Structure 1
């Protein structure tokens, strides 16, 4: 489901649109308009574009989701909830998700408009297996994701404006790609996780990690660890699973207990302090028999 606030929402299958949901006033004159039955509702549909027209948006989304799931005998497992979705719409979709027993494959959502109560309902009851993206900022620090919420995500976590994210949350991460912006984590905090990784105690799936930190202190970052400093003029290309290249200039190589090598660095940029952590080899199709999204 691609859920918009102002624009039409769409239910897709393998990237192809099945049905789109439009407001009734948007109905256009067309020779392709026919009346169709979706659940208990009879609504106009443009058969050329599969656009359906409804009076009540949330009623429409519920009906279309149930209709598509019944036709395909399959759950809706991926949600892309756009930035213009309202607080009431987030309330509705979070409650709909928690009413299911589904383990969702991917959820991308801007949580700025979510109430603390709705957000905690989401954290406490929704389970995501592959990809999680939480965009936007929250004014409240009363968000309390349980340990298991992040623990279930295997491939990709992207969280922006996350000053509420604590070390206990990071302890539960075990995915291949991590992006965290505007965090409270320091160089000293990152040292703790590098030590744990080196001993094989955390981040066993990790391949690529970017975290915005509160400071830039290389000494604290590397304190107590054997590292190999790579000259700044040494340039390496790190290829992601998507085929993109990341330029690695210099850095510090750290070897895990099993011989796996990672390169880390921490730098001050004009807009942020960035801790970078990449695990070699750069191109790998599977970890522990699971495909990587990265």
Structure 2
């Protein structure tokens, strides 16, 4: 596949133009909201405070770009902390994934974190495929709390109690008693991002996104999280039969959706089930993922 080459120094320069504190006016009394963006750390990704929750960077919304370490800082009014979600855009031909640093990404995708999770604590705002699916669970199901969403995702992935689903899994995989689990999160996030990037032509239009197609894509990923986690546990890559089948069916599903169709409710694909028994079954000592929650992809 042809890739667009770009040096990290070029991306950093663009980020410096945007300013480490973010574009837009900085309030007299502000709070620094900082963190990183990843599936692997993303260099040159656009990060913004999405005040109207339309997943697009609008005029006047605070924004910045990630630096050479995938880090960002948004200086916002204290009253805005925890009030609005933060969105990160990986930009085709610009953003570099440090897991694959030789070239810029050939397809873009969008990540986010729920408003509830946004904090003024230093470097606490990690934006990843995990934070994204957590946000989408809450957005689709008004009865699902932030904690419920994290617990459900942890159980979908077959991870033990104590694993922080909002944590920087790259840093967590470096050492500690849960390093293996955080490495599994990292690899799963890579495959989730691969699925998102694979639908970019149907979901993304430059810096804008078709919300119904995006939500349909995320709902399908959510329905199949146990299968994706199992793919990783079994040492399978993005080219496994399961992932190829999932990618193909997602493309067919999204391609059949009208670009201008009205709002579609996907709450049924984000049901509030927080017990691991909904996602995994154990037979003769072997644990396997159950069928998808809504009859989506085959396991």
The TM-score by the shorter chain falls in which range?
A: under 0.3
**When the two structures are superposed, what TM-score results if normalisation uses the length of structure 1?**
0.25
Q: Which has the higher contact order (CA 8 A, sep 6+)?
A: 2
Which has the larger share of helix? 2
Structure whose CA Rg is larger: 1
